[in-house]
Amino acid sequence: MTAFWADALLNSIWIVLGVTGVSLLISVPMAWLIERTDLPGARSLGRVLSLPYVVPSYLLAISWITLANPSVGWLKGLGFDIYGLGGIIFVEASALFAIVFLSFRAGLRSLDPALEEAARLGGASPLGVFFRITCPLLKNTIFASLIAVALASLASFAVPAMIGSPARVFVLTTGIFSLLKQGSLAAQSQALVIAVEMGLVALALVLVSRFFMREQASLLSGKSSRPALVRLGKLKPWLAIGAWTVWGLVAALPLVVLLLSSFMPDPGDSSFSGMSLKAWRYVLADLPGFWDAVANSLIVSSVAALLVLLVSIPVALLAWQGRYGKKRRLRALAAFFEDGALLSYSLPGTVIAVLLIFFAARFSFLGLADTLSILVVALVAKYLTLGLRTLGPGALNVHPSLIEAAQLSGAGSVQRLWRIWLPLLKPSIFAALLLVLMPCVAELTMSLLLYGPGTETLGVSVFQLQEYADRASASVVGSLLLFLVLGFQVSAGRLLGEH
């Protein structure tokens, strides 16, 4: 192994450890404060805290570069420098901690409150209960979510590319990217070897995390009671300020900066008097290839989302029949699809893209290289699991008596499916559509490796604008993506909520 790869490997390891560590330190206390104490505004904080997770992480990177670039950043006077390992860890953790937060919070909610209350009455202080009862009970949940964070930070490409590469800090994914850009055959086959090794590590991590998830005993109680909230007392205002500051730092600040930056076309001027619509006009009217990128992104992600549905709906039907028809084999078949999709989801985007590049080269008669189709294949491979995960539980909610009633009314199997089962599943189907569209429309890692002349997507266009140091235009396209993604997220949440 060359010194370059030894270095890249070491950097990747540092990032994985740093991001998982920081995520643990932010998420667990925050989830506890929100679920278990009388923290003011806990409910709203819980709702908005995971906001950065749904935002593409390269948008956070752009904002932080805007703020803390040592030469032209808005905070350059304060001596911040975002470029380097520390910056990568900070920006990634600010998005990925939500994985730990959401699953730990779900764990806290599913815990029988009496388990903790009994410890209080046994004489343990609130923190004593937390460390001696709550954490040991939920330790498998915590481990599994930490592994998910480790996987995501190992796979991340955009943040290390934007924040690491300018400081000559390379990781495995950005190393593979630069090898492929060299174009020589030797470099390409080296990239393949490293990508395959990375993929194997990722698969091993998934298997370990599945072990933890299976081990996590169900701790639900039949009786739903309100847990006794810990009184924060004198610390209350300070903890509230602290918790909301964390949110401001990881979510509000970068998103506001992204929007503001799109209205500040002059790179040197960050005063409010310099605000104008110039960058917006430029992107919407004059930026070469912008509307092609919009069209490409929309086409690729809609086709991918529809294909995902085309697979997910039959699999959900299999799972449903397996469950309620007590047909073991159908259930196993559905589980096979679900596991396969989960595994390919866990592969880093870079690995999927490299594998596809070599596949397209080997079977060149398919004419896949540099087409929109190869992007669609990549997106379906990566995000099929999102469709399955939404439709599976949705389908199991359809009680068999509803279908039996239709049968007794004289409906044949096709009619039962078409007139009862599918309409009942409609909210889940639309939600799945949106949940797949969301990451697809903003996808960057795979697109950047797979795009060819004329098949640039929005993610690619943001990345290129950022590379050309056109901060304002990158922020404009980024803001558009932000609104698109948030729109999808809110609509999907509504659909799943009403279901």
Partner 1 sequence: MSIEFRELSKSFEANKPVLRKLSFELPHGKFSGLLGPSGCGKTTLLRIVAGLDSPDMGSLRVGDETLVDVGRGIFVSPEKRNIGMVFQSYAVWPHLSVFENVAFPLRVRRLPKGQIEAEVKEALRIVRLEGLEKRLPHALSGGQQQRVSLARALVQKPRLLLLDEPLSNLDVNLRSEMRVEIRQLQQSLGLTAVIVTHDWADARALCDHVVVLNGGRIEQAGSSQELMNSPASEFVRSFAKAGL
> Considering the rule CB under 8 A, would residue 136 count as an interface residue with partner 1?
yes
Closer residue to partner 1 (CB): 48 or 118: 118
> Considering the rule CB under 8 A, would residue 121 count as an interface residue with partner 1?
yes
Distance of alpha carbon 254 from alpha carbon 152, whole angstroms:
20
Distance of alpha carbon 420 from alpha carbon 456, whole angstroms:
42
Burial environment of residue 27 by CB neighbours within 10 A (0 to 12, 13 to 18, 19 or more): buried
For 11, half-sphere exposure in the C-beta direction (CA atoms, 13 angstrom radius) is 28
> Considering the rule CB under 8 A, would residue 114 count as an interface residue with partner 1?
yes
Per-residue tokens: 63: 């904002």
Closer residue to partner 1 (CB): 133 or 429: 133
Alpha carbon of 446 to those of 155, 302, 366: distances in Å?
Answer: 11, 17, 19
Please state the separation of Cα 287 from the chain's center in Å.
29
Closer residue to partner 1 (CB): 111 or 206: 111
Burial environment of residue 121 by CB neighbours within 10 A (0 to 12, 13 to 18, 19 or more): exposed
Site size toward partner 1 (CB under 8 A) is: 25
Burial environment of residue 203 by CB neighbours within 10 A (0 to 12, 13 to 18, 19 or more): middle
Out of 6, 118, 405, 469, the only residue in the binding site for partner 1 (CB under 8 A) is 118
> Considering the rule CB under 8 A, would residue 7 count as an interface residue with partner 1?
no
Alpha carbon of 378 to those of 195, 349, 350: distances in Å?
Answer: 15, 8, 10
What minimum distance in Å lies between the beta carbon of 116 and partner 1? 8
> Considering the rule CB under 8 A, would residue 226 count as an interface residue with partner 1?
yes
Closer residue to partner 1 (CB): 79 or 233: 233
Closer residue to partner 1 (CB): 29 or 113: 113
Contact string 200-219 vs partner 1 (x = CB under 8 A) = -----------------x-x
> Considering the rule CB under 8 A, would residue 43 count as an interface residue with partner 1?
no
What minimum distance in Å lies between the beta carbon of 222 and partner 1? 7
Closer residue to partner 1 (CB): 231 or 426: 231
> Considering the rule CB under 8 A, would residue 234 count as an interface residue with partner 1?
no
> Which span (121-129, 149-157, 338-346, 372-380) binds partner 1, by CB under 8 A?
121-129
Residues 6+ positions from 455 with CB-CB distance below 8 Å: 296, 370, 371, 372, 375
Closer residue to partner 1 (CB): 225 or 397: 225
Closer residue to partner 1 (CB): 108 or 440: 108
> Which span (111-119, 177-185, 248-256, 427-435) binds partner 1, by CB under 8 A?
111-119
Out of 1, 2, 3, 123, the only residue in the binding site for partner 1 (CB under 8 A) is 123
Distance of alpha carbon 107 from alpha carbon 66, whole angstroms:
37
> Considering the rule CB under 8 A, would residue 369 count as an interface residue with partner 1?
no
Closer residue to partner 1 (CB): 225 or 409: 225
Closer residue to partner 1 (CB): 132 or 331: 132
Closer residue to partner 1 (CB): 114 or 369: 114
> Which span (51-59, 225-233, 246-254, 310-318) binds partner 1, by CB under 8 A?
225-233
> Considering the rule CB under 8 A, would residue 119 count as an interface residue with partner 1?
yes
Out of 231, 281, 327, 426, the only residue in the binding site for partner 1 (CB under 8 A) is 231
What minimum distance in Å lies between the beta carbon of 227 and partner 1? 8
Residues 6+ positions from 476 with CB-CB distance below 8 Å: 262, 279, 280, 282, 283, 284
What minimum distance in Å lies between the beta carbon of 221 and partner 1? 4
Q: Which residue spans within 62-118 are E strands per DSSP? A: none
> Considering the rule CB under 8 A, would residue 221 count as an interface residue with partner 1?
yes
> Considering the rule CB under 8 A, would residue 128 count as an interface residue with partner 1?
yes
Output helix, strand, coil percentages for the chain, rounded to the nearest 5: 80, 0, 20
Closer residue to partner 1 (CB): 25 or 219: 219
Distance of alpha carbon 143 from alpha carbon 208, whole angstroms:
9
Alpha carbon of 46 to those of 149, 297, 370: distances in Å?
Answer: 19, 32, 43
What minimum distance in Å lies between the beta carbon of 207 and partner 1? 24
Q: At what angle do helices 349-362 and 172-182 cross, to 10 degrees?
A: 30
Distance of alpha carbon 285 from alpha carbon 291, whole angstroms:
9
What minimum distance in Å lies between the beta carbon of 215 and partner 1? 11
Q: Give one DSSP letter per residue of 172-237, joined into a string.
A: HHHHHHHHHHH--HHHHHHHHHHHHHHHHHHHHHHHHHHHHHHHS-----SS--PPPPBP-GGGHH
What minimum distance in Å lies between the beta carbon of 32 and partner 1? 17
Out of 124, 167, 232, 239, the only residue in the binding site for partner 1 (CB under 8 A) is 124
Largest CA-CA distance found in the chain, in angstroms, rounded: 76
Residues 6+ positions from 64 with CB-CB distance below 8 Å: 82, 87, 90, 91, 163, 254
- β-partners of residue 37 are 230
Q: Check if the beta carbon of residue 470 is closer than 8 Å to that of residue 477.
A: no
Out of 223, 234, 328, 362, the only residue in the binding site for partner 1 (CB under 8 A) is 223
Closer residue to partner 1 (CB): 125 or 413: 125
Residues of the shown chain interacting with partner 1 in the complex, contacts defined by CB under 8 A: 112, 114-115, 117-125, 128, 132-133, 136-137, 217, 219, 221-223, 226, 228, 231
